[in-house]
Every structure is written in structure tokens, then in C-alpha cells.
């Protein structure tokens, strides 16, 4: 029996103007990432209805005017009067901070929208918002708007009228349409690919849910671009999708699921032939990119059960030490999805789960079910393959340990790998220092001459570095270019990396603006993602943006980063402008490289961020993995540098 959900269930904690004054406190940033955060707030509310069994369809529509519609077929926001405020439940949700039905566990057993601020924050940061609720055979609607009154005072997200009944309907659910305010955000055009990836992920995590995306801004054969995601296999399909461009060791993923103390646990795992460990964890559909207690519990169970099995089948003798957890996780792709009440995250970013009870539940369920899986003789062949890979990993780990020890000793005694290469800065404050990894000796020479040596270090790289995605860790450590980077950073490597010892606050990849340069960027980003992930997560990795064109006439000089900017610059300078097309960084003299790409006052750096590990893993596999066809297709679609406006540097956080 479904419990009724009425206006009486909505709790009010406080009121709304502060959102407008300090939007960063509620959505993190007003960049394009914050813009998409608005959408996620509304989408999460719709997904919560589905995750709790009240809806089976969610749709998102991107309109020509930059407004967005999110619709679900759930119960609908309560339309009755709130007992204390004497306004509709809908108006309470959209005008009061910390108002919603999710503060107790009666209406939503499991919720991603934990704080009840989502709907009101979206309203506060939009020019206008319209909500429609289909409920009990009736259709209700209410409009909100942010504007100034006659005295110049801003009225934030005010209802134009009370909630009204506008018709009859057989449908049920909620539809929210909003237009982000361009006076708040750097831009208001949402990215189709970003939204598509997140909606696909949510469909994987909510088994059987149908998620539709419609983009009226783009047309295919005269019709809006559309995508539909629905996965009856849930996270099993998710793992198969993540491993689609790799070589799985076994066909069917291993599934571990159950409940303990009110915590529901679902795990799907499949090994592949790569050397990387790929674990993606979620709690109530929220990605926990920094892991947390649920990941700790899973890893502990995996290590314990695998070692016990290895001894049981005599692969490990009595005299042998246990294999390390990392040995059993080499080539592992796993998705951990748990649902629980009273979620506690560490920090403000909802990226690391802090509940110890989650560790206990996950470890118990994973241990019990993985033991049962390995005890089944039908699975003996799969288990043998996993153990063989783990034993091989242990041998490589020991070789890598010796290589790391040798590297640390060599770094202390002498800096031979860096002689004539690294031009270190003179400053001793790591918080102000920058390290530029520059493609080629020629560009490296210009950068060394053009830099500000007080805080900028230059490390030229010769040729294309090693593709770490296809190499073992001992092979990575044997590569001279990567050894130079490791030594220059001075903070260790892989599991010994210490962020507090980092010599440079900014690590900047500086390569040519062509396909070879793009490949070098991808290789270096993959290297940092695999072996210096904390450095990336903490926001220390950047991409430099060298211009493509120099436009000059007399003493006036402008630079352009794409064809559109070139045309604008030529029009600004006027007739007779000379245009120089830079084929590479090496064509720039030291002064030009400084003023366009290295001068903090004029440059444009792009910070590399990780919001979604599964998305990053997918991109790394596509660009750096063994399967050639997906890479060719991606490059064809996204990296054609010769056509007008087909390539833009990703719009992440810019310095």
C-alpha cells in the first residue's frame, strides 16, 4: 500500500533571497558546470520518484530559447495547502529553502535530493519557471518570475499568482520548465553530450526506468535530436557498457546484491585484460567520485575472499604471504550502487561517503555472496583466470616497488634525468609555482626564455609520451619522459603520491593546437588520471590554450583561438590586416608565447576537472584503449581542426 503524500508532509526550515546573492554556496559555481547543476537538481527530484517506485519515465527537453523542461510520471508535488504557511505545497517547494518531503524517511525511503534546496534554488536562479502538476485527475499550474519592482528591489522567484487548476487529465506527475538567468551564469546554453551522459548513467542505476532526451536546438532530418535510455539489466548493463571497448576475461559480470540493516547493496563486476582498476560507486544515485565507506567495505571483502580461495585451491601455500588488494583489483571494472537513509558525506561536494554502517553492510553482503560464487564449481574457470591475473599483478607490483625505490634513491642523490631539461623556478612557495609541460624542444626553448622564472618552471617533452593505458606500471616508470615529470613534481608516484609535497600548484600541459597536440594532451591527462588522480581531483591540472592566429596591422596585434574569433579580429583591425597561422608552439617567439599563453594576466587556462569518474573512464577507454574504431569515430566527430568552429577547448573552469 502506497502511503499518501500531502502538503502536511512538507517541512519548512528557512526562506530564499541568499541564493541570488551567493549562488556558489548552493550550486558550486556560476560557470557551465553550475548551469548544469540546476538541471541535475530538477532531474534528481524526478529520479527520486522512480527510485522509490512511483514513476517509470523521466524526460528532458532542451528548447530553442535555452529553457529546459523536466517531466516525470510520478505522484506529483503535493497541491494542497500547507498547514502553517497556508499556501500550496507546490509554492512551498519552489519558494522556501530547505522545504520538501525528504527530511523524514516516510515519503522517500532513499533520496539523492537530500537537502530540499533543489527546486527553490532553481527558481531563484532562473528568469522564469513554470511548474505543472497532474494529480487526482486534475492539472495544476503555477508561474514564477525574478524581476525588479518599481523601487529597484529585486523580487526573487516570486509566484505571479497562486497555484491554479487549469484542466483535467488522466496523467500523473510533475513537469518543470525553467530559463536559467543569463545575468547569473557565464552562459546559458546547456551541452547535449554532458546531459546525455548523465541521463544514461541514471538509467543504468535505476533498472527499467525509461529516460528520454530531446533537443529542439538540433535537428536530424527535420526532427529534434532525441535519445532514449532504458536498461532492464541495470548496473550489469552498466559494467558491460564500460567494458565494451576492452577485452573481458569472462562473459557474464559477477553480481552481488542484498540488504542489511536497511541498506540495499547492488554490485556488478567484470574483469578485463587491462592493468587499470575501475571502480565506480554511487549512493542514492549520487556519484561518489572520492569513494568512501561503501568502497572500503567492497575492497576488504574482495581481498579477504580472494586470498581465502587462493589458499583453498593451493595457489597460495602456507609459507606465502597474502596477495595485496590491488593485485585482485587489476583489470577490475565494478559498479557499486547502494541505497540508504541518513546519508553523511565528507565535505560539501557529496563525493565521499562517510557512513561506517555502509562499510559494514557492503563488506558482509559482498563477502557472503562472493564466497558463494567462488564455491560454485561452474565458476571455477572464471575464478582461475582472476587468480592468474592477480598473481601476475603481484609479480609486476614487486618489480614496480623496486623500481620506485630505485627512482626515489636516484632522485635524492642526483637529478641526472632532468639536467638540461627542467628549467626550475626560483620561487620556493609551491602555492604560487607553475610547471609547464611543453611539447617539443623548440617550444620548450621559447617557453624558457619567455617565462617568469620567479614562479614558472618549464619541462620540455620530446615526441609523444608513452600511452600508459596499454602499459604496466613498471614500463611507465622505465619511460624517461614520465620519470622526468615524476621527479619534477617531487611528490612521489601512484600510491606513494603525497599532495602536500607537490612543488607546483599548477601543472600546465602546453601542446600544439592540432591533432598531434590533442593526442599528446590525451596521453598526459591519462597519465595523471591513472597515477596522480588526487592531483586532478584537487584541481591542479590545466591545459594551456595557445592561439591559432596572430592578426596585426601597424602596432595593433590581436590573437584568435578559432575561425570565429579570427573573423571578428580582422573586422576590428580593419582592411590590410596581416594574418599569421601558427602551425605549432615552436613558431612563436618568447614574447608571443608569454603574452598569449603564459602571462597570468592575459592567458586562458582550462582546468581539467573530474565530475563523473564513469564518464572519464569511458573517454579514456575510447581515446587510449585497444579498440581503434570508437577512437576514429570520436576524432572524426569532435577533433576536426580544419573545419570552421568544429573544435573548441572544453568549457571547463577557466583561469
**439, 469, 481, 617: which one is catalytic?**
439
Contact indicator for 109, 215 with CB cutoff of 8 Å: no
Alpha-carbon gap, residue 114 to 348, rounded angstroms: 12
Q: Please say whether the dihedral angle defined by the alpha carbons of residues 351, 356, 359 and 362, taken in this order, is positive or negative.
A: negative
Cβ atoms < 10 Å from Cβ of 426: 11
Tell me how far apart the alpha carbons of residues 528 and 542 are, in angstroms, rounded to a whole number. Answer: 11
Helix, strand, coil content of the chain in percent (nearest 5): 40, 25, 40
Any residues with CB less than 8 A from the CB of 551 and at least 6 apart, and which? 557, 558, 559, 560, 566, 569, 570, 573, 577, 578, 579, 580
What lies within 8 Å, CB to CB, of 221 at 6+ separation is none
Q: Is 439 tagged catalytic?
A: yes
- 217 burial via Cβ count (<10 Å: 0-12, 13-18, 19+): middle
Note every long-range contact of 34-37, with CB atoms under 8 Å and residues 24 or more positions apart, other chains counting: 34/185, 35/180, 35/185, 35/186, 35/187, 35/188, 35/190, 36/190, 36/191, 36/194, 36/195, 36/198
Sequence-distant (6+) residues with CB within 8 A of 615 are 197, 198, 201
| Closest to 299 measured CA to CA, from 269, 257, 264 | 269
Which cell numbers in the block locate residue 395? 609479480
| 308 a catalytic residue | no
User: Residue 261: left if φ>0, alpha if ψ -120 to 50, beta else—which one?
Assistant: left
Q: Which of 516, 567, 572, 599 is catalytic?
A: 516
SS3 64: coil
* Look-up of cell digits 622526468: 484
For residue 499, how far is the Cα from the chain centroid? 20
C-alpha cell at 485: 615529470
543 burial level (CB within 10 Å; 0-12, 13-18, 19+): buried
Annotated active-site residue 514? The verdict is: yes
How many CB atoms are located within 10 Å of the residue 247 CB?
Answer: 13
Does residue 239 contact residue 270 with C-beta atoms inside 8 Å? yes
Residue 230: all three cell numbers together: 532504458
Name the β-bridge partners of 178. Answer: 68, 129
* Whether residue 495 lies in the annotated active site: no
Select which of 308, 346, 514, 587 is catalytic.
514
Residue 272 DSSP code? B
The residue annotated as part of the active site, out of 41, 44, 469, 512, is 512
Catalytic residues: 439, 512, 514, 516
Amino acid at each position: 500500500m502506497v502511503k499518501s503524500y500531502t502538503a502536511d508532509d512538507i517541512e519548512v526550515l528557512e526562506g530564499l533571497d541568499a541564493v541570488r546573492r551567493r549562488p556558489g554556496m548552493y550550486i558550486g559555481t556560476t560557470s557551465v558546470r553550475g548551469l548544469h547543476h540546476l538541471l541535475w537538481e530538477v532531474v534528481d527530484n524526478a529520479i527520486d520518484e522512480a527510485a522509490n517506485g512511483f514513476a517509470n519515465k523521466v524526460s528532458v527537453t532542451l528548447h530553442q530559447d535555452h529553457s529546459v523542461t523536466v517531466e516525470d510520471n510520478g505522484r506529483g508535488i503535493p497541491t494542497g495547502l500547507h498547514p502553517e504557511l497556508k499556501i500550496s505545497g507546490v509554492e512551498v517547494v519552489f519558494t522556501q529553502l530547505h522545504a520538501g518531503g525528504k527530511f523524514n524517511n516516510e515519503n522517500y525511503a532513499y533520496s539523492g535530493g537530500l537537502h530540499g534546496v533543489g527546486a527553490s534554488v532553481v527558481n531563484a536562479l532562473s528568469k522564469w519557471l513554470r511548474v505543472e502538476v497532474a494529480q487526482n485527475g486534475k492539472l495544476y499550474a503555477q508561474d514564477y518570475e525574478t524581476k525588479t519592482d518599481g523601487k529597484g528591489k529585486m523580487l526573487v522567484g516570486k509566484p505571479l499568482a497562486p497555484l491554479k487548476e487549469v484542466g483535467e487529465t488522466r496523467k500523473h506527475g510533475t513537469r518543470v520548465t525553467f530559463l536559467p538567468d543569463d545575468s547569473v551564469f557565464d552562459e546559458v546554453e546547456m551541452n547535449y553530450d554532458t546531459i546525455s551522459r548523465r541521463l544514461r548513467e541514471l538509467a543504468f542505476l535505476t533498472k527499467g526506468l525509461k529516460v528520454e532526451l530531446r533537443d529542439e536546438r538540433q535537428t536530424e532530418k527535420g526532427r529534434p535530436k532525441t535519445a532514449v535510455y532504458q536498461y532492464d539489466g541495470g548496473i550489469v548493463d552498466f559494467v558491460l557498457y564500460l567494458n565494451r571497448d576492452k577485452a573481458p576475461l569472462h562473459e557474464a559480470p559477477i553480481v552481488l546484491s542484498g540488504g542489511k540493516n536497511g541498506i540495499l547493496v547492488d554490485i556488478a563486476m567484470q574483469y578485463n585484460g587491462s592493468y587499470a582498476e575501475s571502480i565506480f560507486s554511487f549512493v542514492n544515485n549520487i556519484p561518489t567520485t572520492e569513494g568512501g565507506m561503501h568502497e572500503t567495505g567492497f575492497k576488504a571483502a574482495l581481498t579477504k575472499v580472494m586470498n581465502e580461495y587462493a589458499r583453498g585451491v593451493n595457489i597460495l601455500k602456507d609459507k606465502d604471504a597474502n596477495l595485496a588488494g590491488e593485485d585482485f583489483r587489476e583489470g577490475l571494472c565494478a559498479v557499486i550502487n547502494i541505497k540508504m537513509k541518513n546519508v553523511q558525506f565528507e565535505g560539501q561536494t557529496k563525493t565521499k561517503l562517510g557512513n561506517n554502517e555502509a562499510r559494514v553492510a557492503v563488506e558482509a553482503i559482498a563477502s557472503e555472496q562472493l564466497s558463494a560464487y567462488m564455491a560454485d564449481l561452474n565458476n571455477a574457470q572464471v575464478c582461475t583466470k582472476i587468480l592468474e591475473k592477480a598473481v601476475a599483478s603481484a609479480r609486476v607490483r614487486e618489480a614496480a616497488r623496486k623500481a620506485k625505490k630505485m627512482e626515489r634513491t636516484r632522485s635524492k642523490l642526483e637529478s641526472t634525468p632532468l639536467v638540461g631539461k627542467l628549467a626550475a623556478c626560483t620561487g620556493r612557495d609551491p602555492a604560487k609555482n607553475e610547471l609547464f609541460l611543453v611539447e617539443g624542444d623548440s617550444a620548450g626553448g621559447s617557453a624558457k626564455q619567455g617565462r617568469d622564472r620567479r614562479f614558472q618552471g618549464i619541462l620540455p617533452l620530446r615526441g609523444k609520451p608513452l600511452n600508459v593505458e596499454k602499459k604496466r606500471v613498471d614500463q611507465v616508470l622505465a619511460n624517461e619522459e614520465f620519470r622526468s615529470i615524476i621527479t619534477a613534481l617531487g611528490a612521489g608516484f601512484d600510491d606513494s603520491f603525497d599532495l602536500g609535497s607537490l612543488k607546483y600548484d599548477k601543472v600546465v600541459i602546453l601542446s600544439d593546437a592540432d591533432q598531434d597536440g590533442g593526442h599528446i594532451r590525451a596521453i598526459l591527462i591519462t597519465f595523471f588520471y591513472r597515477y596522480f588522480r588526487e592531483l586532478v581531483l584537487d584541481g591542479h591540472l590545466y591545459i594551456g590554450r595557445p592561439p591559432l592566429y596572430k592578426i596585426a596591422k601597424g602596432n595593433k596585434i590581436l590573437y584568435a583561438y578559432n575561425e570565429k574569433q579570427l573573423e571578428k579580429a580582422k573586422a576590428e583591425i580593419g582592411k590590410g590586416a596581416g594574418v599569421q597561422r601558427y602551425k605549432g608552439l615552436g613558431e612563436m617567439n618568447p614574447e608571443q608565447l608569454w603574452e598569449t599563453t603564459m602571462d597570468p594576466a592575459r592567458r586562458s587556462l582550462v582546468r581539467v576537472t573530474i565530475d563523473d569518474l564513469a564518464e572519464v573512464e569511458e573517454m579514456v577507454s575510447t581515446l587510449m584503449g585497444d579498440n581503434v574504431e570508437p577512437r576514429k569515430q570520436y576524432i572524426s566527430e569532435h577533433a576536426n581542426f580544419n573545419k570552421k568552429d568544429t573544435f573548441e577547448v572544453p568549457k571547463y573552469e577557466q583561469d
